[in-house]
Structure 1
């Protein structure tokens, strides 16, 4: 029996591959966003009064010839109701 990485309430899980539920939350929440395209790569979660999702993504401005760059998308999904974008930030290269 394999035990999955289940975070304690308030703690963040490790970054992991996206489940079908993670992909659905991301797609539904980002549906109305225009101007930049985001491709989620991995996710970590924090169980609170709902769930925080922190996605590491490839992103690029929706314009021919633009380059991809790394970005972080934080989404909050309450116990009841729709998920909302809390923060989107570009990940700086070191």
Structure 2
């Protein structure tokens, strides 16, 4: 696999008898983009098995891994774990992060990154966002993708990971602001 490559993993499920798969491990430079079920073209029948699909994107070079578990609705406590599927992600020679518009690899936050993040998050409530790492893209200004651990401020708090996308305009052209917050699935 190479950086920016997208791939799909499929498993057969049967909702009519209550069998299903779900992702239990996602490690390294991978992101889960989508999951769902579908029937084979022209073969949909009530009660027929379906394909559950998981779409992943390779984000950065290095070692990565995914693992799935199978269960039956009649015995949800009896999970059958598949072996961990190791994935080696290589640099993509077609991508050069030194070119204008290229994203840098994820890296630990500098003091300047942390100050920028705190500035744009000031006043947000309902959850705490703890930045873990960041990547940047030089454009007419700078785009940032902060990977964060998010904890909801609810009676029973929930924790998940998200990308907080931020744009910082060129000097004297405005203040930095959040452009998107994307919850990461399966992390």
Structure 1 length as normaliser, TM-score?
A: 0.87
For residue 124 of structure 2, what is the aligned residue in structure 1?
33
Q: Is the 8 A contact 1:7 1:46 kept in 2?
A: no
Q: What is aligned with 2:143?
A: 52
Bigger CA radius of gyration: 2
Task: Tell me the secondary structure at the aligned position of residue 158 of structure 2.
Answer: coil
* Corresponding position: 1:42 with 2:133: yes
The structure whose residues are more often strand, as a share, is: 2
Matches within 5 A, 1:56-75: 56-75=147-166
1:3 equivalent in structure 2: none
CA distance in 1, matches of 2:165, 2:136: 10
> What are the superposed Cα offsets for residues 28-81 of structure 1, whole Å, 9 maximum, x if unpaired?
000021111100000000000100000100002112441321111000000132
**SS of structure 2 residue aligned to 1:17:** coil
Choose between structure 1 and 2 for higher RCO, CA contacts under 8 A separated by at least 6 residues.
Answer: 1
* Bigger mean CA offset, 10-19 vs 78-87: 78-87
Unpaired runs of 5+ in structure 1? 1-5
8 Å CA contact retained: 1:40, 1:58: yes
Aligned residues: 89
TM-score by length of 2: 0.45
Moved over 6 A (4+): none
